[in-house]
Amino acid sequence: MKKFFTLLFVPFVLSLPTTSHAFENNVKVNLGLPRMTSFEYERNLNNVLPNLSAFINYGTGELDLSSEKTKINGLGVGARYKIPFLGYIGLGYASLNVDYSYVQTIASGSISAGSSVDVSGTMSGFLIEYGKSFHLGPVILGGSLGYIMGSPSVSGKVGNTKVNSKDINAGLATIDGIPQFGFYVGFAF
């Protein structure tokens, strides 16, 4: 009988979240894409709704997006709802600034073939994410997957001459939405 209770009790205790402390603030460093490095502050809102938290993050990075080296930096804000044993679901808004250059291969509107086009703009939209955190006392480890839904708003120049944004046909200007993922480490206080 004693073994039965031990076999029943031990897995139950191990499955409980280790966040039994009343930490309300989290600070995290995230490594991922599209922002290679981001910093985040998260505040638990248990007084509003149990398992609810709000977050704000800022990050920057450089990656190849549609074969163009793209510099990205930006801000994300939103709320997360923790589902016991499964992780969390997050909803929010992200706004990313982008800069890249490309060489036009085929003439498009006012851009002639062989021209070097400098592009800057933003990618803003609704953010949805799923993640899982593990707490070891005040230390937080975890990861998340998400998607930023939105269409880019870009402007371009060839030399000092502005070009019509509809003529830009490479890099971020050609995609709608950006997937994101990352791994993070943090500290709760």
pLDDT at 155 over 50: yes
pLDDT of residue 87: 97
The answer to whether residues 188 and 21 touch, using CB atoms and an 8 Å cutoff, is yes
- How far apart are alpha carbons 137 and 20 in whole angstroms? 9
Give the model confidence (pLDDT) of 41-72 as tens digits: 999 998 889 999 999 999 999 988 767 789 99
User: Which residue, among 61, 54, 75, has the nearest Cα to 148 in the 3D structure?
Assistant: 75
pLDDT at 20 over 50: no
Rounded to 5°, angle at Cα 19 from 15 and 23? 170
Termini Cα distance of the chain: 41
For the segment 81-130, what is each residue's pLDDT rounded down to a tens digit? 999 999 999 999 999 999 999 998 888 888 888 899 999 999 999 999 99
Indicate whether 9 pLDDT > 90: no
pLDDT at residue 3 is higher than 70: no
What is the residue-wise DSSP string for 65-97? ETTEEEEEEEEEEEEEEEETTTEEEEEEEEEEE
Consecutive H or E run containing 6: helix 2-15
Q: Could you tell me the two tokens for 115?
A: 């021209």
* Contact (Cβ atoms closer than 8 angstroms) between residue 56 and residue 77: yes
Amino acid in the structure at residue 58 = Y
